[in-house]
Amino acid sequence: MKRGVRNLVICILVAGVLSGGALAFGQQVSKGLHPNLAEAQRLIERAIGKVTQAQKANEYDMGGHAAKAKALLDQAFEEIKLAAEAANSR
């Protein structure tokens, strides 16, 4: 396996573990109840897409930094969901 491909596979696995799969399994915030938080989640999804495009353009050889950025964006997505839940519980 090429070094770049191996690094990509490792980064994807680490990102999935770190993020807890927020985008894959997480809920989006209700636009009706929390329009600003819902928009923030939409922008995060867009940012993840742009990072993925950058990875493809650079043949996934970005030193693991793009994958880490995506994991952090995934974490932010989840935190926004938790913020909405906290606001709902008031």
Tens-digit pLDDT profile for residues 32-87: 999 999 999 999 999 999 999 999 999 999 999 999 999 999 999 999 999 999 99
- Global confidence as pTM: 0.71
Q: For the chain, how long is the longest CA-to-CA vector?
A: 52
d(CA 34, CA 16): 27
In which domain, by residue range, is 35 found? 3-88
For the range 51-56, what are the long-range contacts, defined as Cβ-Cβ under 8 Å and sequence gap of 24 or more? 55/8
How many folded domains does the chain comprise?
A: 1
Alpha-helix residue ranges (DSSP H) falling in the chain: 3-19, 22-25, 35-57, 65-88
